[in-house]
């Protein structure tokens, strides 16, 4: 006979101090025991949380629940906000006193997740895991197969193309990431679950980056990405999420935390021995690893440049050059753009101009957003150097970024160009600076 639906639990019971404390500690066994003492039967708990009575009994007797998706299902079934169990952002968070404290907590959670994934151990004092909350109520498949993995991969690839051309797309990526991550709750073979976790890690990494590009906080997506990649045993996925997260931390003004992300990514790929700066033997069986290793080294170089450590910056630039040579135009353009930014941070305008010009030329029309970033950088270098072409290049770059949906491009590359224009005395520079500044504050 089918189970008879049970009524939701009394909110006053769930809001009792002892129950709230057990929820905050994610001590599901204690929660179930407290509910039992209040008269809630194991059968009721099992029906509400979609578990078997034997599972509920085992948890009551001390079996630990660590899987975040099971915890989310339990929170939803009991009818408590996931934030009460520190499971996600975007819901009410008890005790959150300010936006600044909230951002710091997210950053610490990200570092904790990356450290655990990279080193395979929990490091005390780095914060609780906190991730984007998942939607509720949508129907799920009855069982997963490789077709579901391929679906996630195809969606990620198509949305990636849209985002890299137009910029933004946080809503599209965020919705897809939250929706498909619920598939991790569906029965499947271990091999399919691992492949799905790896595909979802890439999807969440892209979602986190698109949030950043849209002027939003993508930290929760990066945190979930490294945990998913760790579940899959995917070294590339962990390091890739660490690279993207680190770049966003640079832009937010946290270079030290960014450097930790890059170093953890290198450790996971085998490029650094844990606890040292000594190179280690790197895996060579995955063709994606050498270019990612080089990107991690280049961004480490940029971080050292921002920290006013030019010798270390040059060391990591050389390391990146020795690790990998680009194989296609987009890869060469990305390398040249990143190198140009580092050279500009090191106040080497001539070298920065050469690499920025190469990036603009190499990106061409196929990767529009990358070209816009490179054009803004090239214009800034020329204006700062007082070159005659600076004003013309700035006009063109400002027109291009004005049609982009990338908030990050407007704030992180257009604002420095505005500052360079404002520093030049001519009325033409001042007028163009005024126009550009208006674009930086225009809502998209």
Q: Are 3 and 47 in contact (CB under 8 A)?
A: yes
For residue 408, the domain's CATH number is: 1.25.40
Domain shared by 108 and 240, yes or no: yes
Structural domain that includes position 72? 1-85
Three-state SS at 341: helix
pLDDT digits (tens, 9 = 90+) for 238-253: 999 999 999 999 888 8
Higher pLDDT, 312 or 276: 312
> Rg of the chain's alpha carbons, rounded to an integer?
24
The whole-angstrom distance between residue 241's C-alpha and the CA centroid of its chain comes to: 6
Residue 131 has a pLDDT of 53
Residue 277 has a pLDDT of 44
Residue 425 has a pLDDT of 84
CA distances from 31 to 188, 256, 399, 405 (A): 29, 39, 58, 46
Domain shared by 14 and 114, yes or no: no
Band the pLDDT of 317: cuts 50, 70, 90: very high
pTM above 0.85, yes or no: no
Domain shared by 304 and 359, yes or no: no
Q: How many percent of the chain have pLDDT more than 90? A: 36
The rounded distance, in Å, linking the Cα atoms of 18 and 297 is 48
Tell whether 214 is covered by a domain.
yes
Residue 97 has a pLDDT of 42
Backbone angles phi, psi at 132, to 5 degrees: -65, 140
Band the pLDDT of 95: cuts 50, 70, 90: very low
Domain shared by 102 and 154, yes or no: yes
Looking at residues 18-47, what average pLDDT do you find? Answer: 88
Q: Is the pLDDT of residue 283 over 60?
A: no
Q: Is the pLDDT of residue 58 over 60?
A: yes
Looking at residues 413-419, what average pLDDT do you find? Answer: 86
Looking at residues 359-369, what average pLDDT do you find? Answer: 83
Domain shared by 223 and 275, yes or no: yes
The rounded distance, in Å, linking the Cα atoms of 269 and 260 is 14
Band the pLDDT of 185: cuts 50, 70, 90: confident
The total domain count for the chain is: 3
Residue 207 has a pLDDT of 93
pLDDT digits (tens, 9 = 90+) for 116-166: 777 765 544 444 445 555 555 557 788 889 999 999 999 999 988 888 778
Q: Is the pLDDT of residue 258 over 70?
A: yes
Domain shared by 78 and 193, yes or no: no
Domain shared by 301 and 182, yes or no: yes
- Which of 85, 106, 121 is at the close of a domain? 85
266-270, 272-276, 302-306, 412-416 — which is least confidently predicted? 272-276
Three-state SS at 167: coil
Q: Is the pLDDT of residue 276 over 70?
A: no
Report which secondary-structure segment, H or E, holds 89: strand 88-89
The chain-wide mean pLDDT, for the chain, equals 83
The rounded distance, in Å, linking the Cα atoms of 353 and 359 is 10
Domain shared by 239 and 378, yes or no: no
Q: Is the pLDDT of residue 444 over 90?
A: no
Three-state SS at 353: helix
16-25, 50-59, 120-129, 326-335 — which is least confidently predicted? 120-129
Residue 443 has a pLDDT of 59
Band the pLDDT of 348: cuts 50, 70, 90: very high
For residue 63, the domain's CATH number is: 1.10.260
Residue 380 has a pLDDT of 92
Tell whether 321 is covered by a domain.
no
Q: Is the pLDDT of residue 78 over 70?
A: yes
Q: Is the pLDDT of residue 52 over 80?
A: yes
């Amino acid at each position: 006979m089918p189970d008879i639906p049970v009524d939701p639990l009394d909110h006053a019971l769930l809001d009792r101090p002892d129950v709230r404390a057990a929820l905050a500690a994610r001590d599901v066994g204690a929660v179930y025991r407290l509910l039992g003492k209040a008269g809630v039967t194991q059968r009721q708990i099992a029906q509400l949380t979609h578990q078997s009575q034997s599972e509920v009994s085992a948890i009551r007797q001390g079996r630990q629940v660590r899987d975040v998706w099971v915890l989310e299902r339990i929170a939803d079934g009991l009818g408590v906000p996931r934030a009460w169990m520190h499971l996600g952002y975007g819901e009410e968070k008890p005790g959150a006193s300010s936006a600044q404290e909230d951002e710091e907590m997210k950053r610490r959670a990200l570092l904790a997740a990356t450290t655990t994934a990279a080193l395979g151990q929990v490091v005390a004092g780095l914060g609780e895991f906190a991730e984007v909350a998942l939607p509720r109520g949508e129907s799920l498949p009855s069982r997963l197969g490789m077709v579901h993995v391929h679906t996630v991969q195809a969606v990620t690839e198509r949305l990636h193309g849209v985002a890299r051309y137009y910029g933004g797309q946080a809503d599209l990526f965020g919705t897809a990431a939250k929706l498909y991550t619920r598939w991790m709750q569906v029965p499947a073979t271990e091999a399919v679950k691992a492949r799905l976790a790896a595909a979802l890690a890439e999807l969440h990494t892209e979602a986190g980056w698109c949030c950043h590009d849209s002027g939003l906080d993508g930290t929760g997506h990066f945190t979930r990405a490294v945990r998913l990649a760790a579940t899959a045993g995917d070294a590339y996925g962990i390091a890739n999420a660490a690279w993207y997260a680190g770049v966003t931390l640079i832009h937010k003004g946290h270079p030290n935390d960014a450097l930790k992300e890059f170093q953890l990514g290198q450790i996971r790929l085998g490029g650094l021995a844990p606890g040292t700066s000594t190179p280690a033997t790197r895996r060579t069986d995955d063709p994606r690893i050498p270019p990612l290793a080089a990107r991690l080294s280049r961004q480490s170089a940029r971080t050292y440049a921002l920290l006013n450590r030019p010798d270390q910056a040059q060391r990591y630039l050389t390391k990146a050059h020795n690790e990998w040579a680009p194989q296609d135009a987009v890869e060469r353009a990305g390398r040249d753009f990143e190198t140009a930014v580092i050279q500009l941070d090191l106040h080497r305008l001539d070298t920065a101009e050469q690499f920025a010009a190469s990036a603009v030329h190499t990106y061409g029309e196929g990767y529009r957003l990358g070209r816009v970033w490179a054009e803004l950088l090239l214009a800034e270098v020329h204006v700062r150097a007082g070159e005659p072409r600076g004003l013309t290049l700035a006009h063109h770059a400002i027109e291009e970024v004005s049609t982009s949906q990338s908030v990050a491009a407007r704030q992180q590359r257009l604002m420095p160009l505005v500052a360079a224009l404002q520093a030049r005395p001519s009325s033409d520079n001042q007028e163009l600076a005024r126009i550009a500044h208006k674009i930086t504050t225009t809502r998209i």
